Amino acid sequence: MTMPTTLFDKVWDAHEILRSESGQSLLWIDRHFVHEGSFHAFNKLRDRGLGVARPDLTFGIADHYVPTLTRRLDAIGDAKVRSMIEQLTDNTREHGIPLFGLDDPRQGIVHVLGPEQGLTQPGLLMVCGDSHTSTHGAFGSIAFGIGASEVAHVLATQTLWQSRPKQMRLTVEGELSSGITAKDIALTWIARLGADGARGHAIEYAGSAIRSLSMEARLTLCNLTIEGGARCGMIAPDETTSAYLRNRPFAPRGECWEQAQAYWQTLKSDADARFDREVTLAASEIAPTVTWGVSPEEALPIDARIPDPAHIEDLARARQVRDSLDYMGLAPGQQLTDIAIDRVFIGSCTNARLEDLRAAADVLKGHRSKVPGIVSPGSTQVKHQAEAEGLDAVFREAGLEWRESGCSMCVGMNGDLVPAGERCASTTNRNFKGRQGPGARTHLMSPAMVAAAAVTGRLADVRQL
Amino acid sequence: MEPIKIIDAPACPLPLANVDTDQLIPARFMKEPRSVGYGRFLLHDLRHDESGRPVETFILNHPQATQAKTLVARRNFGAGSSREAAVYALVDFGLRCVIAPSFGDIFASNAVNNGLLPATVSEADAEALLTALGDAPGTLHVDLETQRISTGELSVAFTIAPTWRTKLLNGWDDIDMTRQHAQAIQRFAGDYANQRPWLKATPVTKIITRS
Ligand code: SF4
């Protein structure tokens, strides 16, 4: 009898070239994305006189530093920002790596573009020098972020040394009520387990609430997996996965499609497979959730009050809450819905796909935003689709700026920043100190909740609009 | 990479939890080439006030901090962004070891790849070390062979994955190790491609090739 295995085991084992004496696996990499920040890795390669082993499995994407007001390179005022994009172009050209550059109609944020182009597929092993690479696990692939030394290693060898992580199954059963999204599932579990709660684990998301999620929502959920400290997150491929992939530019066709389908159907955990850890949530417990602090674990249902450190027994925890409230400029016991905001941002690889923009536009339609804000679609394709549906008009009429696609205000590398001291309701993934700019205060929430905050000028419960 | 066996040097106490990589090096400094030295960017926004002046009370601005080779912090050190620049900032500042109750996974492997030891201790031991150091850098003795950290009477154990320990003790580099397996990789790649013909399917696409 063969041992029952998990989805993760199946994909991992299929990519294991060999195992070292100390137990590390040398893994084959199917897809490797590089972006502007990968310049350290290319420099490392150059220093050692090495080439790129498989340029055909490597894909360059300009997203972190791209301007959102223009698609023209020469219009970028900051020479150092411009040079980041130029270095990516030069490095990919030098090594024969296909590039989705600034002026490419397929350009987008790497974790939006990969699935959209059909590069992300079930059963693959995918890496990128970006922690939110966990996003691609939504298709039942193992996908995780790596550092520059590892990027250089993958470029040089198309392989990577890894220790097999522990495994955790996170099951969400039941039906999500209306207004509850994948963002809320993610913030809820991260708040419960902690920002390092899943450290050392690969997560498989399971249960009826997960199966009923759209592909776009699954991407949001897997995207945020890293915020709970997990190595990666994955969801077994099903009909939803295949329907999404069919006819995508890089998806298999014809006979190859049939072969792929047959393989994808084997990609699920055996009924009696064992996990190192099981966590279960009831869909009915999940409310629209927002963050109030400086770590994604500092999240609460929108109808809650800010915690009071004076009432927290654990000293370390109380200290952390005090520090967060101090940075965020909030008072203990304050009602979340009383918090006034200064601006909104709708964008990022977490929540800037078409479905996200539709959800935000639904709430904004016919309203004016009380605060300024930016909407940056996750990819240029998403931008065109949104425009075809007239979503851009809804955002503009609400008084928000409709921009080009890029990482934008998620990380501010291109200069789209939240000014110091300002409070931003944001669809992004990190509320870290200074993430959206020095001194910026970030509240994470779903696109509909950001739209609700825009309409009311404060954190608001979208269900009550 | 320079091997590590024993580190006997001042250690800086940093009694903070969740020191994410965005704090270790804010994004705006990441456009710089490594040759400028990333040490000056380390924890920049904690080290400086809004007008850019050094915060005198911050530990990295302590006169002895420049000699420090170790940092002691609270849980979830290096969470967040995969930016290896966070490790470059620590290493370029002169550090060879960070001690904390837990680390971001990607940060820890980036650290090892740059000869920086991520030493995991229990929460209680992290607090004991922080208490022992107080609010100034103090000497810690870190021994990677015995996996112990000591100062005065206090001696605590730390953990690290055995493969990482071996790499750090020897100063090994992955690329060299992997290239010894070139044949196995080639064989694997061939079989793998045969078993998965659908992965060959490449699209009609504008590809910029070598000019
Ligand atoms: S949108 Fe934000 S989280 Fe996503 S890849 Fe860009 S910078 Fe990273």
- Search chain B and give the residue with CA nearest A87: B31
pLDDT (average), residues A165-182 = 97
- Comparing alpha-carbon positions, the chain B residue that sits nearest to A297 is B18
Count CB atoms within 10 A of the CB of residue A105.
13
CATH number of A289-464: 3.30.499.10
pLDDT tens, chain B, 211 aa long: 889 999 999 999 999 999 999 999 999 999 999 999 999 999 999 999 989 999 999 999 999 999 999 999 999 999 999 999 999 999 999 999 999 999 999 999 999 999 999 999 999 999 999 999 999 999 999 999 999 999 999 999 999 999 999 999 999 888 888 988 999 999 999 999 999 999 975 654 443 333 3
Query: pLDDT at position A293, please?
Result: 98
Q: Do B83 and A147 touch (CB under 8 A)?
A: yes
Q: Which DSSP helix (H) or strand (E) runs through A8?
A: helix A7-15
Secondary structure class of A134 (helix, strand, coil): helix
Using CB atoms and an 8 Å cut-off, which of residues 130-159 of chain B contact chain A? Answer: none
Q: Does B197 touch chain A (CB under 8 A)?
A: yes
Question: Which tokens is B22 given?
Answer: 């965005």
Assess A413–B contact: CB distance below 8 Å, yes or no: yes
Q: In whole numbers, what is the pLDDT of chain B averaged over residues? A: 93
pLDDT in tens, A7-41: 999 999 999 999 998 889 999 999 999 999 999 99
Closest Cα of chain B to A188: distance in Å?
A: 18
Say how far apart CA B126 and CA B137 lie, in whole Å.
15
Q: What residues pair up with B150 in beta bridges, in sequence order?
A: B141, B155
Ligand 1 centroid–CA A349 distance in Å is 6
Chain B CB contacts of A231 below 8 Å:
105
> Which chain A residues are closer than 8 Å to B131 by Cβ?
none
Q: How far apart are CA A132 and CA A226, in angstroms?
A: 7
**pLDDT score at B205:** 47
Which residue in chain B is spatially nearest to A258 when comparing CA positions? B198
The Cα–Cα gap between A384 and A315 comes to: 51
Residue A246 Cα, ligand 1 centroid: separation in angstroms? 26
Q: In this complex, which of B16, B32, B197 lies closest to A259 when CB atoms are compared?
A: B197
Q: Which residues line ligand 1 (CB under 6 A)?
A: A 63-64, 109-111, 130, 132, 348-349, 407, 410-411, 429
pLDDT digits (tens, 9 = 90+) for A431-446: 999 999 999 999 999 9
Mean pLDDT for the stretch of residues A65-87:
96
Paired with A424 in beta bridges are A343, A442
Interface of B with A in 47-66 (CB under 8 A): 50
CB count within 10 Å of CB B5 equals: 10
Determine whether the interchain pair B105/A200 forms a contact, defined as Cβ–Cβ distance below 8 Å: yes
Q: Is the pLDDT of residue A205 over 60?
A: yes
Q: Please give the distance, rounded to the nearest whole angstrom, from the Cα atom of residue A74 to the centre of ligand 1.
A: 23
Distance CA A118, CA A112 (A): 10
Contacts of B160 in chain A (CB under 8 A): none
Q: Which residues of chain A does CATH 3.40.1060.10 include?
A: 166-285
A346 forms beta bridges with: A375
- DSSP SS3 for A139: helix
Of residues A382 and B179, more confidently modeled: A382
Structure token pair of residue B119: 């030493």
The ipTM is 0.92
Residue written as token pair 């698609």? A71
Please report where in the chains the tokens 């696109």 appear, as a residue: A447
Pairing between β-strand B70-73 and β-strand B97-100 as defined by DSSP bridges = parallel
With CA atoms as reference, the chain B residue closest to A36 would be B31
Chain A interface, best mutation among B14, B21, B30, by max A CB count within 10 A:
B30
CA distance A399 to A336: 24
What φ, ψ does residue A404 adopt, rounded to 5°? -80, 170
CB A320 to CB B18 under 8 A?
Answer: yes
Which contiguous run of DSSP H or E holds residue B175?
helix B174-179
For A35: left if phi > 0, alpha if psi spans -120 to 50, otherwise beta; the answer is beta
Segment A283-328, tens digit of pLDDT: 999 999 999 999 999 999 999 999 999 999 998 899 999 999 999 9
For the segment(s) A7-162, the CATH number from 3.40.50.1000, 3.30.499.10, 1.20.1260.10, 3.40.50.620 is: 3.30.499.10
Q: How far apart are CA A28 and CA A10, in angstroms?
A: 14
Contact A147 B84 (CB under 8 A): yes
**In this complex, is the C-beta atom of A31 within 8 Å of any C-beta atom belonging to chain B?**
no
DSSP A346-413: E-TTTS-SHHHHHHHHHHHTT---SS-EEE--SBHHHHHHHHHTTHHHHHHHTT-EE--SSSGGGT-T
- How far is Cα A356 from Cα A445, in angstroms, rounded to an integer? 12
Domains of chain B: 6-172 (3.20.19.10)
Q: Whole-angstrom distance between the N-terminal and C-terminal Cα of chain B?
A: 35
User: What pLDDT sits at residue B50?
Assistant: 87
For residue A212, the model assigns a pLDDT of: 98
Quote the pTM value. 0.95
Average pLDDT, whole number, for chain A?
Answer: 97
Which residues of chain A does CATH 3.30.499.10 include? 7-162, 289-464
Q: Give the separation between CA A405 and CA A71, rounded to whole angstroms.
A: 9
The confidence score (pLDDT) of residue B201 equals 54
Closest alpha carbon within chain A to B127: A316
Measured at the CA of A44, the angle between CA A41 and CA A47, to 5 degrees, comes to: 155
Nearest-CA distance B130 → chain A (Å): 13
Topology given in CATH for the domain delimited by A166-285: Aconitase; Domain 2 (3.40.1060)
| Residue of the CA atom closest to atom 4 of ligand 1 | A349
- Nearest CB to B80 within list A194, A263, A432: A432
The terminus-to-terminus CA distance of chain A in angstroms comes to 57
Q: Which two tokens stand for residue A68?
A: 């959102």
Quickly count helices (H) and strands (E) in chain A: 15, 19
Is residue A371 within 8 A of residue A342, CB to CB? The reply is yes
Contacts of A166 (CB under 8 A, 6+ apart): A200, A201, A202, A276, A277
Question: A411 at the B interface (CB within 8 A)?
Answer: yes
Chain A CB within 8 Å of residue B185 CB: yes
d(CA A266, CA A191): 33
The beta strand positions in A273-375, using DSSP E, are: 277-282, 289-291, 299-301, 343-346, 373-375
A136 and A250 in contact (C-beta within 8 Å)? no
Is residue A306 within 8 A of residue A331, CB to CB? The reply is yes
- Residue B45 is nearest to which of A65, A161, A434, comparing CB atoms? A434
Residue nearest to atom 2 of ligand 1 (CA): A410
Mutation to test the B interface, candidates A17, A245, A320, most B Cβ within 10 Å: A17
